[in-house]
């Protein structure tokens, strides 16, 4: 085995974990075990493991060598090398080239989070939307199905405690049709009974505050992994695990949680709106 330059184990970042997961998936698509790849490249198993978990840095040349050994296609090589060449500043952007709900950085971290807190100002947050509501909102059926699949991933055994903050404005805004809204409200009512899932309502009477302006989702993990915040725009999702940025998002979520109604009162509001839409459809 060739001599390896020593790289100390480091605290992984959201970007380094995304890069590592890309490398792991490339190896698995090739049907190659970690042992086979390590032996072929003259690496230790520990080196490959740390690369795939994002806790070790390496050169673009070594990443290219690994992808070549795995027979990765051109699109994969370009995507992975683009991630590898980014400065790890604690903030990175992923463009929506397909369905934003399928972004690897998103699904990877939601799949390992301990808690998730989500807020959107004028619509039901993505993590609580029905397929028909998401389709009416976006016009994209594939995106709508992916959105529901994300919710199922959060509900898996051992999944995160998920708090979905819904402003009452979103309950008044008719998306699609009143029938779509009735079904969406009934879904939110049902979610109130899910283990580890809590929809909470900010009432119309709540005072205005800068924290209400923009959407955001905040994820926390087991130590030593730092929290991660992300915000979806029309064309990209922006991720932050820079401590200063995360502190700002934590302050935002604390303020929003001071505005929400308690679990029972939130459920009562959701039931009332569901009943209102149901009466209008009769």
- Chosen CATH of 91-280 out of 3.40.50.2000, 2.60.40.420, 3.30.870.10, 3.40.50.1100: 3.30.870.10
| Chain mean pLDDT for the chain | 93
End-to-end CA distance of the chain: 75
> Which pair of structure tokens corresponds to residue 177?
């049709």
How far from 95 is each of 100, 138, 213, CA to CA, in Å? 8, 17, 22
Indicate the pLDDT class of residue 6, thresholds 50, 70 and 90: low
pLDDT in tens, 178-229: 999 999 999 999 999 999 999 999 999 999 999 999 999 999 999 999 999 9
Residues facing residue 237 across a β-bridge: 94, 232
Q: Can you tell me the distance from the alpha carbon of 128 to that of 146, in angstroms, rounded to the nearest whole number?
A: 12
Q: Considering the domain 14-85, what is its CATH architecture?
A: Orthogonal Bundle (1.10)
Which 3 state secondary structure label does DSSP give 200? strand
pLDDT in tens, 252-269: 999 999 999 999 999 999
The percentage of the chain sitting over the pLDDT mark of 70, rounded to a whole number, equals 96
Indicate the pLDDT class of residue 11, thresholds 50, 70 and 90: confident
Residues 56 and 7 sit within 8 Å (Cβ to Cβ) = yes
Half-sphere exposure in the Cβ direction for 272 (13 Å, CA) = 11
Q: What is the DSSP string of 121-186?
A: SSS--GGG--HHHHHHHHS-HHHHHHHHHHHHHHTSTTPPEEEEEEEHHHHHS--S-HHHHHHHHH
Interval 38-52 mean pLDDT = 93
Which residues neighbour 22 within 8 Å (Cβ) at sequence distance 6 or greater? 76, 79, 80, 83, 104
In the chain, where the domains are located = 14-85, 91-280
């Amino acid at each position: 085995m060739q001599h390896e330059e020593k790289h100390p184990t480091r605290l992984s970042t959201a970007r380094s974990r995304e890069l590592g997961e890309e490398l792991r998936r490339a190896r698995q698509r090739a049907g190659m075990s970690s042992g086979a790849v390590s032996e072929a490249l003259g690496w230790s198993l520990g080196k490959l493991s740390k690369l795939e978990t994002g806790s070790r840095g390496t050169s673009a040349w070594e990443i290219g060598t690994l992808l070549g050994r795995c027979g990765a296609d051109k699109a994969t090589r370009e995507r992975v090398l683009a991630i590898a060449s980014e400065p790890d500043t604690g903030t990175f952007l992923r463009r929506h080239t397909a369905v934003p709900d399928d972004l690897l950085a998103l699904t990877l971290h939601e799949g390992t989070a301990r808690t998730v807190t989500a807020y959107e100002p004028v619509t039901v947050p993505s993590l609580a939307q029905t397929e028909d509501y998401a389709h009416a909102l976006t016009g994209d059926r594939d995106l709508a199905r992916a959105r529901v699949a994300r919710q199922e991933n959060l509900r898996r055994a051992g999944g995160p405690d998920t708090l979905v903050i819904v402003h009452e404005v979103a309950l008044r805004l008719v998306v699609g049709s009143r029938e779509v809204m009735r079904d969406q409200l009934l879904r939110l009512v049902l979610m109130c009974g899910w283990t580890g899932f809590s929809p909470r309502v900010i009432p119309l009477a709540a005072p205005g505050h800068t924290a209400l302006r923009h959407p955001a989702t905040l994820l926390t993990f087991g130590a030593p992994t730092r929290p991660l915040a992300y915000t979806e725009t029309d064309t990209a999702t922006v991720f932050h695990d820079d401590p200063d940025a995360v502190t700002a998002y934590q302050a935002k979520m604390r303020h929003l949680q001071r505005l929400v109604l308690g679990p029972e009162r939130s459920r009562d509001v959701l039931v009332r709106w569901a009943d209102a839409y149901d009466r209008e459809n009769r």
